[in-house]
Amino acid sequence: MRVCVQSPANALEAPGLKELTDPRRMYATALQNSETVFAIAPMMDWTDRHCRFLHRQLSRSALLYTEMVVADAVLHGPRERLLDFDETEHPVALQIGGSEPAKLAEAARIGADFGYDEINLNVGCPSDRVQSGTFGACLMRTPALVGECVEAMKSAVDVPVTVKCRIGVDDQDPEIALDELADTVFEAGADALWVHARKAWLQGLSPAQNRTVPPLDYARVYRLKQRLPDRFIGINGGIGSAEEVVAHLKDTDGAMMGRTAYQNPAFIADVEAALTGNEVQVDWDAVVNAMANYAARHVEKGGRLSHVTRHMVGLFHGLPGARRYRQILSTEATKPDAGPEVLFAAYGTVDIESARRAA
């Protein structure tokens, strides 16, 4: 098994990784060359541009996703604030929510013009707000409409258009619902289908419960891949370690890690090492310096240090000093006049040498 590695020029050096694959051919290349894709899932309120910049410091290969942006917001909202990203984030995909083909097509075009490497349609989010807009997971009930949306988006852009879905919703039979959706979106031109291997229960469960309560059914996604060997099928849901990523990639084309990558970002580097076969030793001094410089630029533009550091609280789990590190970021970094010196002070409490000795 080989991994489809993307290597932005400004990312951290990681010897032995392949050169940048054209993101516009990423999925086709993966299928043709029996390569695989590792991705960080789109997560509402979490995977903003500051989070993605951190994740890029830990992996040259991971495909990064934005949090979902509603098509109407792309069309009528503050585009620069919603869509701007740092060049080092490539490859990066924009996830859009909506159910009106014309609006989605225009939003996709705008996203592609901003430089995103992929446009993804959300057919998996179960939140009440999304349901009230008749999109997200409730679109599992209307695969024909999803196909129309994908077809319209494909006609508007020349970057990959993909779909992220569940295996079904409510009382749907996942064997029927997932096959019908997959066949429809691929017929419409979708380049890839990422499947969260759970149902979404739109009545009776909160969005948070929908991420954990419905049982995982990885085998259902594996069966979809077996039925569609020439289509890119990626898997998501409950993946908690590098070993699990490697295991899933034996039966699918891509593995997408969510909450584990956010809550303990060091796992991202573990996956990088497992997939490339290289001993990727994270240079934490370089990571923190990169984040401090990035945060300084953000503060100079009027932002808050905490906008950046809130995504870094999960670093250094299990190391001596990690608790004090978290305390400093949670209290000092939230102050209005906080600058990158707070991040350096927090980092100074962590015994990084113990990690180096253990490695």
Domain count, the chain: 2
Q: Are residues 94 and 201 in the same domain?
A: yes
Integer Rg of the chain from CA: 20
Q: What are the phi and psi torsion angles at 170 (to 5°)? A: 50, -125
Q: Which of 268, 229, 244, 211 is nearest to 11 (CA)?
A: 268
Unique residue bearing structure tokens 């999960």: 314
Active-site residue 138, yes or no?
Answer: no
Q: Are residues 189 and 294 in the same domain?
A: no
Question: What is the rounded distance in angstroms from the CA atom of residue 143 to the CA atom of residue 123?
Answer: 10
- 254, 276, 298: which is the final residue of a domain? 276
Q: Are residues 242 and 106 in the same domain?
A: yes
Q: Are residues 36 and 103 in the same domain?
A: yes
| HSE-up of residue 109 (Cα within 13 Å, Cβ side) | 10
- 226, 254, 276: which is the final residue of a domain? 276
What pLDDT tens digit does each residue of the chain (359 aa) get? 333 433 333 333 332 234 345 777 889 989 988 899 999 999 999 999 999 999 999 999 899 999 999 999 999 999 999 999 999 999 999 999 999 999 999 999 999 999 999 999 999 988 766 555 678 999 999 999 999 999 999 999 999 999 999 999 999 999 999 999 999 999 999 999 999 999 988 887 777 787 777 899 999 999 999 999 999 999 999 999 999 999 999 999 999 999 999 999 999 999 999 998 877 688 999 999 999 999 999 999 999 999 999 999 999 998 999 999 999 999 999 999 999 999 999 999 999 887 665 55
Strand ranges (E), the chain: 2-3, 35-40, 63-65, 69-70, 92-97, 118-123, 161-169, 192-200, 233-236, 254-257
Q: Which pLDDT belongs to residue 130? A: 59
- DSSP 8-state secondary structure symbol assigned to residue 138: G
- Out of 125, 138, 149, 165, pick the active-site residue: 125
Q: Which pLDDT belongs to residue 180? A: 98
Q: Which pLDDT belongs to residue 281? A: 81
Q: Are residues 101 and 140 in the same domain?
A: yes
Q: Are residues 350 and 295 in the same domain?
A: yes
Q: Are residues 268 and 300 in the same domain?
A: no
- 230, 258, 276: which is the final residue of a domain? 276
- Rounded to 5°, the CA angle 96-98-102 comes to 100
Q: What are the phi and psi torsion angles at 11 (to 5°)? A: -75, 170
Q: Are residues 235 and 340 in the same domain?
A: no
Q: Are residues 111 and 220 in the same domain?
A: yes
Q: Are residues 245 and 342 in the same domain?
A: no
The CATH code of the domain that includes 149 is 3.20.20.70
Residues making up the chain, counted from first to last: 359
User: Considering the entire predicted model, what is its pTM?
Assistant: 0.91
Q: Which pLDDT belongs to residue 158? A: 95
Domain that holds residue 299: 284-358
Q: Are residues 351 and 314 in the same domain?
A: yes
Q: Are residues 95 and 123 in the same domain?
A: yes
